[in-house]
Amino acid sequence: MGIEALSRGADRVLFVDKNRESRQLVTRNLELFPVSGSARVVEMDILRFLSTFKEVPESGRLIMYFDPPYKDKKLYRQVFSRLDRMNPEDLIFFIEHGEPLVIEKALHLRLWKQKRYGSKWISVFTTIPDFW
């Protein structure tokens, strides 16, 4: 999804993954499909990354795409909760999951859309009021 975003004009994309094979695949694909924006691949656990994340753009939208192991329900809740507490302005947050997603009530993130694509689901949350 990050490479797709770059191909459609995103200024920059940051890929965060603790899995070495996944990072290598992203790096190879970035080499095969040159794009106009900048890309960076970071080795880090997502929760640790979110606790140190400071790259919120001064203008424009922040788009995050989260594709964890489908069976790790606790990780979904932890990431969602942490992002909700961070409350970044102009956030659009995509979550990929394997079954309908039930998220506890949030203070700032609101469900915008949820759609099934074959065997996977994508839910989109946002902090942008005019999306609701």
Tell me the pLDDT tens digit for each residue of 66-93. Answer: 988 888 888 988 999 998 988 888 888 9
Give pTM, 2 decimals. 0.83
Which of residues 120 and 12 earns the better pLDDT score? 120
In the predicted structure, residue 52 carries a pLDDT above the cut 70: yes
Which of residues 46 and 34 earns the better pLDDT score? 46
Question: What does the H/E/C string look like for 43-87?
Answer: ECCHHHHHHHCCCCCCCCCEEEEECCCCCCHHHHHHHHHHHHHHC
What pLDDT is attached to residue 57? 64
Residues of the chain with CATH 3.40.50.150: 57-132
State the maximum Cα–Cα separation within the chain, in Å, rounded to a whole number. Answer: 41
Distance CA 126, CA 92 (A): 5
Cβ neighbours around 123 below 10 Å, total? 20
Q: What is the mean pLDDT of the chain?
A: 86
With vertex at residue 53, the alpha carbon angle to CA 47 and CA 55, rounded to the nearest 5 degrees, is 150
Tell which CATH classification among 3.40.50.2300, 3.40.50.150, 3.90.1150.10, 1.10.3480.10 matches the domain 57-132: 3.40.50.150
